[in-house]
Copies of this chain bind each other. A is one copy, B any other.
Amino acid sequence: MPRFIQKVSKKTGLPPGTIVSVGTRPVGKTKITVFDFDQNNYQEKEISTIEECFPFKDTPTITWINIDDLQVDIIEKIDTHFGIHPLVLEDIVNTAQRPKMEDFEDYIFIVLKMLYKDQDKDEIIAEQVSFILGPNYVISFQEKPGGDVFDPIRDRIRNYKGRVRKMGADYLAYVLIDCVVDHYFIILENLDEKIEQLEEILLKDIKPEFSQRIHQLKRDIIFLLKQVWPLREVVSGLQRTESKLIKKTTVIYLRDLYDHSIRVIENIETFRDLLAGLHDIYLSSLSNKMNEIMKVLTIISTIFIPIMFIASVYGMNFKHMPELEWPMGYFVVLVFMGIIGLSMVIYFKKRKWI
């Protein structure tokens, strides 16, 4: 199960701005890719040392630097060269952030959560993705390697599809954020299917493990809401910021993105309401089943206990029991038992128990 809280206590007492990696990150080789383009040209390269991308900072072209694995020394070099505030770099490396958007005049810092499904464990994974949007560059930081998420955007840049080559760095940042948000819908559809399955099963039968499946889905939804809830604020912050980094033409796209964010949040809240409803039917189904079980027990007991009593009366060994001597005694008693049993059955029919 995904934990809701990452261990950050080892940071307690350190000076603010200390860059300490907090997430559980495999220390692999950092992969840095650079895209540099304008309307006419584009250039793409994978670099091995962070210094190679520094020259791009001052060219008039749009530069997108994607850093796949977060290593403290690389981050520190970016600090020095791009003039980023140490608190920002601390937040990039400490992947326990909540999504946020901070405006530092020269650049805008954005933290988001990329959500995907771990296929093996059927778990939702949240990976931190941070963006630094400068005047003509975007730097994106991914918590884990495997940056194929942004491949469609790479293709668009290469093939001059869409508007991304024509517009500025702010539009590039929008496209990257949009790509992250689009992935949320895949998670939502998966959840939707699971809830539908649960609903269908529940209409047929109830099982004890059902309760745990509902709980698991509830946890997923709490987890998702926690990651996605601040998104609204982030996007509306971008929309309303007075920073000169966001051009007017891009704001219209951000409005669309804001709409998507609200749809994501509303869908999750709808799921939460549905689950609450499912839990309610589950509980009343349990009560119903209990009633049904008790009815069977009560019917059997109520029919047989009185006639067993009669049988046990005539099983007594008293010397003087006149009925025992009657030639038809046995049959009379059998018939009497039958009448009692039948009248019980009729009583239950009347009460609609059978």
Interface pair B5/A189, CB less than 8 Å apart:
yes
Give the docked Cα–Cα distance between A174 and B17 (Å).
13
Interface pair B222/A274, CB less than 8 Å apart:
yes
Interface pair B277/A218, CB less than 8 Å apart:
yes
Interface pair A318/B333, CB less than 8 Å apart:
yes
Q: Return chain B residues, CB-CB under 8 Å to A222.
A: 270, 273-274, 277
Asked if A283 is at the interface of the complex by the 8 Å CB criterion, the answer is yes
Q: Give the number of times this chain occurs in the complex, counting copies.
A: 5
Please classify how large the interface on chain A is, using the bins under 10, 10 to 19, 20 to 34, 35 or more. 35 or more
Asked if A197 is at the interface of the complex by the 8 Å CB criterion, the answer is no
Interface pair B291/A211, CB less than 8 Å apart:
no
Q: Return chain B residues, CB-CB under 8 Å to A97.
A: 259, 263
Give residues 317-332 of A contacting B (CB, 8 Å): 317-321, 323-330
Contact of A279 among B162, B280, B313, B314 (CB under 8 A): B280
Asked if A156 is at the interface of the complex by the 8 Å CB criterion, the answer is yes
Contact of A291 among B289, B305, B329 (CB under 8 A): B289
Give residues 327-348 of A contacting B (CB, 8 Å): 327-330, 333-334, 337
Interface pair A182/B324, CB less than 8 Å apart:
no
Asked if A3 is at the interface of the complex by the 8 Å CB criterion, the answer is yes
Interface pair B15/A164, CB less than 8 Å apart:
yes
Contact of A85 among B219, B252, B271, B315 (CB under 8 A): B252
Q: Return chain B residues, CB-CB under 8 Å to A315.
A: 311-312, 315-317
Give the docked Cα–Cα distance between A205 and B317 (Å).
46
Give the docked Cα–Cα distance between A314 and B334 (Å).
11
Digitize A252-292: 1 where CB-to-B-CB distance is under 8 Å, 0 elsewhere.
Answer: 11011001001100110011011001111111111111111
